[in-house]
A and B are shown apart, each in its own frame.
Chain A
Amino acid sequence: MMHKGFHWRKALHYLILFVVCGIFFFPFIWMLLGSLKSSTEVMDPNCFFPSVWRFSNYVEAWNYAPFDVFFKNSIIQSVLIVVFQIAIATLAGFAFAKLDFKLKKPLFMVFLATMMIPSEATIITNYLTITRLGLMDTTLAVILPSLVSVFGIFLLRQNFMMIPNALLESARMDGAGDFRIFVSICLPIVKSAVATLSIIGFIGAWNSYLWPMIVTNSLSMKNVQTGMRHVMGMDESLKPWHLLMAAANMLIVPVVALFLSMQRYYVEGIAKVGIK
């Protein structure tokens, strides 16, 4: 009796899970199906499955706009942003955790305060700065304001603080300088925090839209987000939805794959923000 009730509960749990996941994931399923339909089938809401699975839609979508250029730009921008974010955040995080200097506290307060400045309120000035530097429509323009991640600095600082001071003292006794200690002792210990920052930084950079939109205008400088937005506006009257769905899928899959492979680090990172 008891046993049977237990199973019913489990079945109900699975049923609810199935419905919830179905609702949340339905847009992606509809995208996937749409991306494999013909141009007429995709416009017919009564047609659920394509009569022929047209994988050639993906080739056609790839050639519908210069997606090779968009992807190249996105990859270059995101990788550069992540590399700089890690370099800058590990240096600053280490200083705030392990070095002793008078300006440490006031500077840390300044860093904390900048977290309250919304980047949306700084875009106009940054646009003027980029124009004045003659960098409009360049990769540098896209990446410059994102090279420092205050979140990353705090994350790394937290992790550096967990390293016992005795370890650093003994290295100092052996005559190692602070930079040596930083590179060869501390950095290897905070590997997982670096992984966390890189996955969060990469996804953030890959999905950023407002700033790249403002500082790039030529088609050859667009990344996947601004490029996709451009593609969405191309045929105003009759949109080739089967190609647009294929393109949407091409944008989503790489990031989801990356996320799945580093899910643990990503979730660790956002949980840190959460639980503090």
Chain B
Amino acid sequence: MNYRSRRAFAREAKGLAFVLPALLFLVVFYIYPMCFAVRTSFFSWNMTSAMKFVGLRNYKRFFSNNNTVSALWTTFKYVLYILPSSLVIGFLLALLVYKPGKANTLARTLVFIPHIASIVASCAIWTFLMNPQYGILNKMLNLIGIPSVRWLNDVKTALLSVSFVTVWRQVGYNMIIFIGAIQNVQGEILEAARIDGASHFQIVRRMIIPLVIPTAFMLMILNTIAVFKMFTVIESLTEGGPAGSTTNLVYLIQQTAFNDYSLGYAFTMSVVLFLIILLVNIFQMSLEKKVNYDA
């Protein structure tokens, strides 16, 4: 008996030893910080002052303050602008290049490269392209008779411009995932359909689209979360401006914590961000089974 339990103990210890390094880092840099953020969101604190319990005051302030409400709204607007276009374009490109072949493979690589290229460097290029005076984009617009646009410097266009650059970075990723899904469908089924005289359009509508729906759904979730967490593109292109029109929640968290030093309040925003992303995750988990069975 004793021998048995000692062996069980040794097995337990061995398992834990293998997992321990990972667990240690997750606790220190993910789990503890999240708990600390939730707790501190109920306090008023600016680093130099002592923490003071204020209950829900930070949350009330969050939902009554113009800056935070507009940042929250902007966060959702980014999803609205980026999600549909990056999914649809990604899918169309996947249809275009999913078949093997040198030209298709090259095209896949070229479209994917924006996704891995340094964001800061890419945004430097886009700042240059979108420059109102000497940018090539305005030059092109002028050539087809459209007057110059102030892209990143205009409250009306800045959010769209930032979204546009993000779509450019994201489409290649969606395309690659869609290609994987189409290639899973492909093969004999498609061949059979083709022999039966189905047109290309019919194949896409009747076979490919229904079978890639689970993938599209998963991409929708992944993209939504990625857009909620956007920071570098905004920081590099507009620094949240003009007039705060491109400031999302993550950008505001960073500003509130490291420029204004109101940590309690910044923690409140972090918790709201966490809850929004949690909701998306729960939504995914609750629908995942259903979608998989339907497919």
Q: A245 contacts which chain B residues (CB < 8 A)?
A: 124-125, 128
Q: Provided the pairs A214-B258, A232-B236, A244-B124 are in contact, do residues A28 and B113 lie with their beta carbons within 8 angstroms?
A: yes
Cβ–Cβ contact A224 & B118, under 8 A: yes
Q: Which residue of B lies closest to A266 (CB)?
A: B116
> Is B52 on the interface with A (CB-CB < 8 A)?
no
> Is B120 on the interface with A (CB-CB < 8 A)?
yes
Segment from B60-68, B155-163, B265-273 that makes contact with A: B265-273
Cβ–Cβ contact B21 & A92, under 8 A: yes
Q: Which residue of B lies closest to A44 (CB)?
A: B134
Cβ–Cβ contact A27 & B126, under 8 A: yes
Q: Which residue of A lies closest to B218 (CB)?
A: A274
Q: A232 contacts which chain B residues (CB < 8 A)?
A: 120, 124, 127, 236
Measured CB to CB, the closest approach of chain A to B187, in angstroms, equals 15
Partner pick for A45 among B136, B215, B225, CB 8 A cutoff: B136
- Chain B residues 156 to 172 lying within 8 A of chain A, measured CB to CB, are 168, 171-172
Complex Cα spacing A207 to B119, Å? 7
Q: A120 contacts which chain B residues (CB < 8 A)?
A: 229, 231, 250, 253, 270, 273
> Is B121 on the interface with A (CB-CB < 8 A)?
yes
Q: A182 contacts which chain B residues (CB < 8 A)?
A: 18
> Is A134 on the interface with B (CB-CB < 8 A)?
no
Complex Cα spacing A214 to B258, Å? 8
> Is B144 on the interface with A (CB-CB < 8 A)?
no
Partner pick for A207 among B22, B34, B116, B219, CB 8 A cutoff: B116
Cβ–Cβ contact B107 & A102, under 8 A: no
Q: Which residue of B lies closest to A229 (CB)?
A: B120
Q: A265 contacts which chain B residues (CB < 8 A)?
A: none
Partner pick for B117 among A21, A34, A252, CB 8 A cutoff: A252
Q: B25 contacts which chain A residues (CB < 8 A)?
A: 88, 144-145, 147-148
> Is A16 on the interface with B (CB-CB < 8 A)?
yes
Cβ–Cβ contact B114 & A24, under 8 A: yes
Measured CB to CB, the closest approach of chain A to B46, in angstroms, equals 12
Q: B33 contacts which chain A residues (CB < 8 A)?
A: 121-122, 124-126, 129
Complex Cα spacing A251 to B119, Å? 10
> Is A136 on the interface with B (CB-CB < 8 A)?
no
Cβ–Cβ contact A103 & B254, under 8 A: no
> Is B176 on the interface with A (CB-CB < 8 A)?
yes
Most buried by A among B18, B218, B222: B18
> Is B26 on the interface with A (CB-CB < 8 A)?
yes
> Is A210 on the interface with B (CB-CB < 8 A)?
yes
> Is B111 on the interface with A (CB-CB < 8 A)?
yes
Q: B77 contacts which chain A residues (CB < 8 A)?
A: none
Complex Cα spacing A45 to B130, Å? 11
Partner pick for B14 among A99, A125, A207, A275, CB 8 A cutoff: A99
Segment from A51-59, A163-171, A189-197, A253-261 that makes contact with B: A253-261
Q: B22 contacts which chain A residues (CB < 8 A)?
A: 88-89, 91-92, 111, 148, 153
Cβ–Cβ contact B15 & A114, under 8 A: no
Q: Which residue of B lies closest to A10 (CB)?
A: B103
Report whether over half of chain A's contact residues are helix, strand or loop; otherwise say mixed: helix
Most buried by B among A34, A101, A247, A259: A101
Q: A229 contacts which chain B residues (CB < 8 A)?
A: 120, 235-236
Complex Cα spacing A32 to B177, Å? 29
Residues 100-140 of B, flagged 1 when their CB comes within 8 A of A and 0 if not, give: 00011011011101101111111011111100001110110
Cβ–Cβ contact B15 & A251, under 8 A: no
Partner pick for B232 among A203, A210, A266, CB 8 A cutoff: A210
Measured CB to CB, the closest approach of chain B to A144, in angstroms, equals 7
Measured CB to CB, the closest approach of chain B to A198, in angstroms, equals 14
Cβ–Cβ contact A124 & B15, under 8 A: no
Residues 232-259 of A, flagged 1 when their CB comes within 8 A of B and 0 if not, give: 1000000001001101110110011001
Cβ–Cβ contact A260 & B266, under 8 A: no
Cβ–Cβ contact A255 & B128, under 8 A: no
Q: Provided the pairs A17-B103, A121-B274 are in contact, do residues A103 and B180 lie with their beta carbons within 8 angstroms?
A: no
Q: B120 contacts which chain A residues (CB < 8 A)?
A: 209, 225-226, 228-229, 232, 251
Q: Provided the pairs A126-B29, A224-B118 are in contact, do residues A121 and B34 lie with their beta carbons within 8 angstroms?
A: yes
Cβ–Cβ contact A274 & B219, under 8 A: yes
27 A-B pairs whose Cβ atoms sit less than 8 Å apart in the complex: A13-B96, A17-B96, A17-B103, A17-B107, A31-B128, A43-B134, A44-B134, A45-B134, A88-B25, A95-B19, A99-B11, A103-B12, A111-B26, A114-B26, A117-B34, A117-B274, A121-B277, A122-B30, A124-B33, A144-B25, A148-B22, A206-B118, A252-B122, A259-B113, A263-B109, A270-B177, A275-B177
Given contacts A92-B21, A121-B277, A125-B34, 20 further A-B contacts (CB under 8 A): A17-B97, A21-B106, A24-B171, A28-B117, A30-B125, A30-B129, A45-B134, A91-B21, A96-B19, A111-B22, A116-B278, A122-B30, A123-B257, A126-B29, A224-B118, A228-B124, A232-B236, A247-B124, A251-B121, A255-B117
Q: When A and B form their complex, which 3 residue pairs have the shortest distance between CB atoms, in order from nearest?
A: A101-B15, A125-B33, A95-B18
